Amino acid sequence: MSDVLPADTAPSPLAKRLSAHAILLIELALSLGGFAIGTGEFSIMGLMPNVAADLGISEPQVGNVISTYALGVVVGAPLLAILGSRMLRRNLLLLLMAIFAVGNFATALAPDYHTLMAFRFFAGLPHGAYFGVAMLVAASMAPPHKRAKAVSRVLMGLTVAILVGNPLATWLGQVMSWRYAFAVVGLIALSTVAMVAWFLPLDKTEPRNDPIQEMRAFNRPQVWLALAISSVGFAGMFCVFSYMAPTLLHVTQVSTAWIPLALATFGLGTIVGNMAGGWLFDKLQFKAVAWLLVWSALVLVLFPVAALSPWTVLPAVFAVGTMVALGAPLQTHLMDVAQGAQTLAAASNHAAFNIANALGPWLGGMAISAGLGWTSTGYIGAITAMAGLVVFFVAWRFEQKPTA
């Protein structure tokens, strides 16, 4: 692979004028946006019983609300990345996070099920594009050999949201109302707007992307297959995680106080999985994805049995969290095969991740509504992991073909 960096991830002239302290504050501001998005995306899963009771709907219907947000991400990520490609990154970040804030304030005020669906779709639109642009900003401020660490520091906000933000939002929603949880997410998003506006200078020298050229570079089989693995392989994690709260209440038969604890346990699993996935990709490269999909299928097929007992459910939830290990290998592989389409690829990876976030709850909701039980999500999830493995083998064949 060439040592020449793509133009949109090469160190910027602005970065040479910034101190290490200034760059750290910029990364902190960008990470806060990730914390807001992660908390807003996942907190509804812990608050599923509360939302259902307040609006007089079923828990599988709340699962549809989760899927609707994810569909917003899928639609918004490539669309806003393309439409905003001519904007300066600072201005685009401010716009995207302002849209996210409005979407969450509207969610907190939603009077009924269908309005909630519409507001969650709107809130999901800027999700993927924000992460895509934020990662490019972080990479452009770092030396070539430290770009991955800079990106990981920005993504740390998402991980901390799963570990801390989600359980706290769930607790707040249980004590007061689920609406307060989304109002707080809106306030965090506004804080991100203020911090990015304050700490990130406007860089008029940054490269502008040609959306037509990006779309041409993006249109490669290896890119689409990597996105397909994300879309299908991750679905099992969301299938189980989306219905974890009612599973704990109806199957494990523990109190609601266990829900924030289980969410924090899941968060710990994501941190361990994230580190393990990066390490495994360094060792095995693209083959790491296959092993992680096999691990995911095993974890998911054992979850229904583990959910029967309070002694085994938390280790099982931790193991489901480790499925996030797929993220780093798939993201790295995608960036490798999407040369010339870095912005669109970075945003589209989050779109693919959220196709899984839509597919998992939808499949799980259908199984539950069909009378297969809350724990059927584990078996459905295992099937999606194996389907992801099939896509991997197709992608592997493309990798082995000699280039002209």
pLDDT at 368: 87
- Cα–Cα nearest to 351, from 112, 125, 86, 54: 125
The rounded distance, in Å, linking the Cα atoms of 192 and 175 is 26
pLDDT tens digit string along 57-110?
888 788 788 888 988 988 888 888 778 777 888 899 999 999 999 999 999 999
- Cα–Cα nearest to 333, from 220, 255, 246: 220
The rounded distance, in Å, linking the Cα atoms of 243 and 145 is 41
Q: CB of 403 within 8 A of CB of 94? A: no
Q: CB of 44 within 8 A of CB of 119? A: no
Q: What's the mean pLDDT in 144-156?
A: 66
Nearest-10 Cα torsion for 191, 140, 145, 28: -10
Q: CB of 343 within 8 A of CB of 270? A: no
Q: Coil, strand or helix: which one is 373?
A: coil
Tokens standing for 284?
A: 């095995």
pTM: 0.75
Q: What's the mean pLDDT in 305-331?
A: 86
pLDDT tens digit string along 347-376?
777 778 878 877 888 888 888 888 888 888
Domain boundaries, the chain: 13-400
The DSSP result for 164-208, as a single string, is IIHHHHHHHHHHT-HHHHHHHHHHHHHHHHHHHHHHS---TTSPP
The rounded distance, in Å, linking the Cα atoms of 226 and 144 is 24
pLDDT above 50: residue 153: yes
Q: Side chain identity at 144, as an amino acid letter? A: P
CA angle 302–329–213, rounded 5-degree value: 135
- Cα–Cα nearest to 314, from 322, 323, 306: 306
Architecture per CATH, 13-400: Up-down Bundle (1.20)
pLDDT tens digit string along 154-164?
777 877 887 88
The rounded distance, in Å, linking the Cα atoms of 239 and 63 is 9
pLDDT at 404: 44
Q: What is the mean pLDDT of the chain?
A: 82
Q: What's the mean pLDDT in 218-246?
A: 83
Q: What's the mean pLDDT in 12-20?
A: 65
Q: Can you give the C-alpha Rg of the chain in angstroms?
A: 20
Q: Coil, strand or helix: which one is 389?
A: helix
Q: For a pLDDT cut of 70, what percent of the chain falls above it?
A: 85
Higher-pLDDT residue of 404 and 340 is 340
The rounded distance, in Å, linking the Cα atoms of 49 and 53 is 6
pLDDT above 80: residue 306: yes
